[in-house]
Structure 1
Amino acid sequence: MTSNKSKGIAHELKSQVMILGGLVALMWILEFIDLFLFRGRLDAYGVLPRNIIGLRGILFMPFLHGGWPHLIANTVPFITLGWLVMLRETSDFFIVTAVTMLVSGMGVWLFGSPGFHIGASGVIFGYLGYLLLRGFFERNLVSILLSVLVGFLYGGIIWGVLPLQQGVSWEGHLFGLIGGVFAARFLSRKT
């Protein structure tokens, strides 16, 4: 029985690595193609606020980045927070990702500043919101400890929801965080 459980855990971990690795690989490949073949023109597939064509960016925004530093800055928190979202169930990752993409993208489309909004940070802030509030909604020791750990490790990025830095889509951060809170409430399992 223990052997089957170990195999199940190993299989789940392998699936999680493949999912996260595949998404990160997609981001890196797209950035490579964008920079070297399209000279940054793929960024026009990001969210363009209050423009019908900009709605397509809800799907594309998390996979497009404004150069290598932007992509590098998003890669580690995407992997780390994404995996923490997957810890309980891999399916949670897909739900949280979908909810935060939708809420972040629609929030930017409705209220964002002019120009194309790109990057995975809206989703990253969604993971942050989900992980921080999951403990509050579930009220069990494991969820609370995970919320505290995430707050300790990543709580400092919360300032990214404020319009403090030029050229940063704080709106994407804010609405991503809100989407993560919605997902935490929706997925909470009180024990």
Structure 2
Amino acid sequence: MNQPLGYSVTPQPPKKPPAWKVGGATILSFVALLYIIELIDQLSGHSLDRNGIRPLETDGLWGIVFAPLLHGGWQHLAANTVPALVLGFLMTLTGMARFVWATAIIWIVGGFGTWLIGNIGCGLETNHIGASGLIFGWLAFLLVFGWFTRHVWWIVTGIVVLLVYGGVLWGAVPELDRCGGVSWQGHLCGAVAGVLAAYWLSGPERKARERSKSGQLPGLPS
């Protein structure tokens, strides 16, 4: 194409992919990673599962990093797959930066909480593994995020999530007479961390709302 002399062609900036594509690719990659790790664990005779959260043990602190990536078999991983895909994808729609920060808070704070209370109700040593603590954190985040931000879309999303997944919240109810099996401690700590993450990461919206309210107050005579 011929251009008039003295004029340069300004290159168009590349279009960013839609948020739903980025979010979908991100969460699909994460779940795929879980399956790859489980395959390695199966081939190694479940040697990776020893790296879970072992409460109140110094070495067990490393489990905070590794536990959400480990599962006690294909059935355990399959049970977590659909909730992880759905809730994780919805989390990415809050913004990728927010998704990363929320996941980090839930991962670390929820994991540390599990390390502290993971042996409650059980006289034996326990080893907590699985992405369910992270999933409970995402669930709790989505349930309260809309109320903190006052965004209609996220309020509706929270209500839908409650209707679809609200029943699983029973998995966060303490069962002091039960040892082994489901980690209610991990679920509970993940959910609490999710609420904390939602409150902290909704700060910009809450501050903007407060400024808006203060701007509507009538002025006082000086």
Q: What TM-score comes out, normalization by structure 1 length?
A: 0.90
2:98 matches 1:72: no
Q: Where in structure 1 do 4 or more consecutive aligned residues deviate above 6 Å?
A: none
- For 1:16-75, what per-residue CA distance to the aligned partner results, in whole angstroms no more than 9, with x for missing partners? 222212211111011111012x21121111111001111111111110000011000111
Query: In 1, distance between residues paired with 2:149 and 2:31?
Result: 30
Query: In 1, distance between residues paired with 2:81 and 2:97?
Result: 21
Query: In 1, distance between residues paired with 2:65 and 2:164?
Result: 28
Q: Which residue of 1 aligns with 2:147?
A: 136
RCO (CA 8 Å, sep 6+): is it higher in 1 or 2?
1
Mapping of residues 1-191 of structure 1, within 5 Å:
7-10=15-18, 12-36=19-43, 38-113=44-119, 114-164=125-175, 166-188=180-202, 189-190=205-206, 191=209
Specify the code of the residue in structure 1 equivalent to 2:40: I
Query: In 2, distance between residues paired with 1:141 and 1:163?
Result: 32
The percent identity for this pair of structures is: 44
SS in 2 for 1:8: coil
- For 1:117-172, what per-residue CA distance to the aligned partner results, in whole angstroms no more than 9, with x for missing partners? 00000000000110001122112312211111111111111000024564111100
Question: Which protein has the bigger helix share?
Answer: 1
Equivalenced residues, count: 184
Cα offset, 1:9, TM superposition: 4.6
Query: In 2, distance between residues paired with 1:21 and 1:147?
Result: 22
CA-based RMSD of the aligned residues comes to 1.6
Query: In 2, distance between residues paired with 1:182 and 1:128?
Result: 12
SS in 2 for 1:13: helix
Specify the code of the residue in structure 2 equivalent to 1:156: G
Q: Any unmatched runs of 5+ in structure 1?
A: none
Query: In 1, distance between residues paired with 2:151 and 2:114?
Result: 33
Q: What TM-score comes out, normalization by structure 2 length?
A: 0.78
Q: Any unmatched runs of 5+ in structure 2?
A: 1-11, 120-124, 210-222
